[in-house]
Amino acid sequence: MNNDKKILTPISTKSSMDNDSDFVPMAQTTSPSIQMQDSNFVFFFGTAESGKSVILSSMLYYLSSQAGVLRPKLDTPNSKEAEVLLFDFLDNIRKGVLPNRTTRDRVTRIDLIFEPNNKSKKVPPIKLTFLETSGENHYEIRRGGNYHSSIDEYLNANIPLNFILVTDYDTAHNDDALMMSFLNELERKGKSLKSVNAILVVSKWDKSGSMGVSSVEQLDNFIRDRMPMTSQRMDTYGLNKSFYTIGHIEKNSIGEERLTKLNLQTAKVLSEWLYRSIVGVDINYEGTFWERFFGK
């Protein structure tokens, strides 16, 4: 893992979607068994309505529509449920339907295999287990509180964990102390921030009036001003920072939010960070001349 401090910024393009209003309601799935350690677990931390489910669904959509093939891992206890949930995530976002809120006291788990388009042998397929939890559960660790057992068992387990720390653009200033509580919780569980894979993501960046940042300093200053304690911790340990937007969202006649233009720029950046953090090689790795010549 590369611990050099970075602020990740998107460089990709937008994509469009159809206007089909029919959709399959999103299902929830959990599996208490974490004996299968042969995977790379991705844990989302964030308060209620911070955008965790939206980030997850758009990352899955990017990985499966532009970066390669994403399919359920068949030898897991919840392979059928994961297939249903994956279908709902991908089908809904294509139709502009935002994910439902995650159920409290449960871990939404999807075991997948990702096969990149890149044919280089140095860019291998990887196993990914995405974990998402209700924002209400994360409030439980305030003032030294404890997580629900469904979450705690993952944080206590000896498994490779990657952390996506999510804060809302509008409410980031309220999340500083809670984010610090979570980072302290990781330290208490023996997961040193000096070696952990973690990235801080400011979601709903479009609320700033822009789909991107004018410079890395703009994002850095935003986080330092709104979340000074978290910013200090991230800088000290060289952890990454980024921003996120899913695109243009409008409210319909009954007040429901609907995605009208899908933007996968930040999904691309976050997905590429995740792959690089796990494998140690860029997903777009082209190889040397001799590697390309011999097909290695």
Lowest model confidence (mean pLDDT) among 32-36, 168-172, 204-208: 32-36
Are 137 and 148 in contact, with CB atoms under 8 Å apart?
yes
Q: Tell me the pLDDT band of 88, cut-offs 50, 70 and 90.
A: confident
CA–CA distance, 73 with 112 (Å, rounded to integer): 5
pLDDT at 19: 44
Distance, in Å, from the CA atom of 134 to the CA atom of 258, rounded to the nearest integer, reads 21
CB 211 within 8 A of CB 205: yes
Backbone angles phi, psi at 265, to 5 degrees: -60, -50
Q: Is the pLDDT of residue 296 over 60?
A: no
Mean pLDDT throughout 217-241?
Answer: 95
Provide the pairing of β-strand 7-8 with 240-243. Answer: parallel
pTM of the model: 0.81
Kind of pairing between the strands at 257-262 and 107-116 = unpaired
In the predicted structure, residue 30 carries a pLDDT above the cut 60:
no
Structural domains present in the chain: 7-17+45-294 (3.40.50.300)
Query: What are 147-195's pLDDT values in tens digits?
Result: 888 888 889 888 899 999 999 999 999 999 999 999 998 998 888 888 8
Dist. CA 83–CA 153, nearest whole Å? 23
pLDDT value at 101 more than 80: no
Query: Is 22 a residue whose pLDDT tops 50?
Result: no
* Mean of pLDDT values over 49-70: 93
Q: DSSP 3-state helix, strand, coil percentages of the chain (rounded to 5)?
A: 40, 20, 40
Q: What is the pLDDT of residue 232?
A: 96
- What are the pLDDT digits (tens) for 243-274? 999 988 887 777 778 888 889 999 999 999 99
Distance from C-alpha of 246 to C-alpha of 15, rounded to nearest angstrom: 11
Please report where in the chains the tokens 């709903």 appear, as a residue: 204
Q: Which of 11-20, 66-75, 220-229 has the lowest mean pLDDT?
A: 11-20
